[in-house]
Amino acid sequence: MTTRPEISKAELADQFRTFIDPDYVIIDDETMKPYECDGMSMYCEMPLLVVLPETVAQVQRVMRICHEHGVPVVARGAGTGLSAGAMPNKEGVVLSLAKFNRILDIDPLARTARLQPGVRNLAISEEAAQYGLYYGPDPSSQIACTIGGNVAENSGGVHCLKYGLTVHNILSVEMVTAEGDLVTLGSDGLDNCGMDLLAVMTGSEGLLGVVTEVKVKLLTRPEVARVVMAGFDSVQKAGDAVGGIIAHGIIPGGLEMMDGHAIVAADDFAGAGYPREAKALLLCEVDGTEEEVHEHIAEAEAVFRKLGATSVRTSQSEQERALLWLGRKSAFPAVGRISPDYYCMDGTIPRRHIAQVLTDMQKLSEEFGLRVANVFHAGDGNLHPLILFDANVPGEFERTEAFGAAILKMCVDVGGCITGEHGVGVEKIRQMAVQFNDQELQQFHDLKAAFDPTGILNPGKAVPALKFCQEYRSLEHKQHKHEHTEAAHG
Partner 1 sequence: MADISQQLQEQVLQARASGEKLNIVGGGSKTFMGREPSPGAGTLDMSGHTGIVDYHPVELVMTVRAGTPLVDIEAALAEQGQALHFEPPHFGAGSTIGGTLACNLSGPARPWAGSVRDQVLGIRLINGKGEHLRFGGEVMKNVAGYDVSRLQAGALGTLGVITEISLKVMPSPAASLTLVQDMAIDEVLHYMNSRAAEPKPITAACWVDGKVYLRLSGAKTAVEATAEKWSGDVMKDGQAFWRSVQDMQHEFFAEKDAPLWRFSVGSTADNPGLEGDWFIDWAGSQRWFRGAGELSDMETQARAAGGQVNLFRGGDRTGEVMHSQPNALKTIQRRVKSSFDPDGIFNPGRLYSWM
Torsion of CA 359, 361, 364, 369, to 10 degrees: -110
Is the CB of 140 or the CB of 154 nearer to partner 1? 154
Between the CA of residue 456 and those of 89, 152, 177, 315, what are the distances in Å? 10, 16, 11, 51
Q: How far is the CB of 417 from partner 1 (least distance, A)?
A: 4
Q: How far is the CB of 437 from partner 1 (least distance, A)?
A: 8
Q: How far is the CB of 63 from partner 1 (least distance, A)?
A: 12
Query: What CA–CA distance (Å, rounded) separates 163 from 157?
Result: 10
Q: How far is the CB of 412 from partner 1 (least distance, A)?
A: 9
Instruction: List the one residue out of 382, 416, 420, 387 whose CA is nearest residue 401.
Output: 387
Q: How far is the CB of 28 from partner 1 (least distance, A)?
A: 35
Q: Where are the alpha helices (DSSP H) in 307-424?
A: 318-329, 331-337, 354-368, 396-413
Beta bridge pairs of residue 386:
344, 373
Is the CB of 195 or the CB of 393 nearer to partner 1? 195
Q: How far is the CB of 233 from partner 1 (least distance, A)?
A: 22
Is the CB of 161 or the CB of 230 nearer to partner 1? 161
Is the CB of 1 or the CB of 488 nearer to partner 1? 1
Do residues 65 and 15 make contact, with C-beta atoms less than 8 angstroms apart? yes
Is the CB of 88 or the CB of 136 nearer to partner 1? 136
Is the CB of 31 or the CB of 220 nearer to partner 1? 220
Instruction: List the one residue out of 241, 250, 242 whose CA is nearest residue 292.
Output: 250
Is the CB of 153 or the CB of 256 nearer to partner 1? 153
Q: How far is the CB of 351 from partner 1 (least distance, A)?
A: 6
| Strands ordered across the beta sheet of 170-176 | 103-107, 112-115, 210-217, 170-176, 182-186
Q: How far is the CB of 291 from partner 1 (least distance, A)?
A: 4
Is the CB of 8 or the CB of 289 nearer to partner 1? 289
Query: What CA–CA distance (Å, rounded) separates 195 from 199?
Result: 9
